[in-house]
Amino acid sequence: MVHGVINVKKEKGMTSFSVVARCRRIFGKKKICHTGTLDPDAEGVLVVCLGKGTKLVDMLSHGTKTYEAVLMLGCVTDTQDTSGTVLREYEVDVSPDEAESAVLSFEGPNMQVPPMYSALKVDGKKLVDLARRGIEVERKAREVTFSDMEILETDLPRIRFRVTCSKGAYMRTLCEDIGMKLGCGGCMESLLRTRTGRFEIGEALTLDEISEKVRDGDLSFVMPIDRFFDEYPRVQVPESLDADIKNGSRFELRGLSDVPNKKVRVYLSDGAFAGIYKKSGKRFSLEKHFYIFDTEEGTEQ
């Protein structure tokens, strides 16, 4: 089993779930998931975790994301993008300067109401499933933050812009909110995610490219789990402590008195990454275990 994280370039027309399903076929394993949904019509960076890398999902999901979006003014749809049913159309009677100012005015913290066409759940039911049945429920506004907003091109009724946003922000909703502020409505025409945390679009691979590399036995594109904890000091234990580390037990190791009470990356005697430990006094206690025992293969890795 391959364990780590990959940077997938999701292509337009695919759901995030279908990307994961294809990855499961490519790698021949089920324990695979992504860290943040992209709409079917959107494209760009989709971070996918493999095997023990799935333990990183919560950490990776909280990073900021950068997008390039095209806003179409003068049109309001039920899905907040051009794939939906048109609800209202307006004449776009604003100047390019007014339109650009409206976009840039959303930089900073904002209160945003999540869209009905989303995977959020209310009373255990996905909003998108309710929306498809014609049911609309009240959603609470939540604070999101937009930063580094930049106008890339203006050719009304379209505006292409770049923005970095916090977790939980919806670009479709942002586009609609900008249209509402201008009084002419608006929806999202296209969306490209160019960055998620440390993962950039320039390093992303399509599923076909990933499939070809796996067939050739090239796994260099898989980011190892321990790379996400580079800020912590490395501690490698002697063979006599290997069994304790594999079981997640606390341990004490002489010669580490200079390590302050903080987290460390712990490796077995053979160099295999085991997990994150926290030093308290003279002992190290497990905080996050990543020792890999592949039960499907019946072997330790």
Beta bridge partners, 192, equal 43, 68
Q: Is 39 in the active site? A: yes
- Nearest CA to 238 out of 264, 217, 213, 267 is that of 267
Tell me how long the chain is.
Answer: 301
* Given the residues 39, 78, 81, 177, the one annotated as active site: 39
- Nearest CA to 192 out of 36, 12, 7, 37 is that of 12
Q: How many CA atoms lie within 13 A of 31 on its CB side?
A: 17
Cβ partners under 8 Å of residue 105, min gap 6: 181
Distance between CA 301 and CA 297 in Å, rounded?
10
Q: Which residues are catalytic?
A: 39
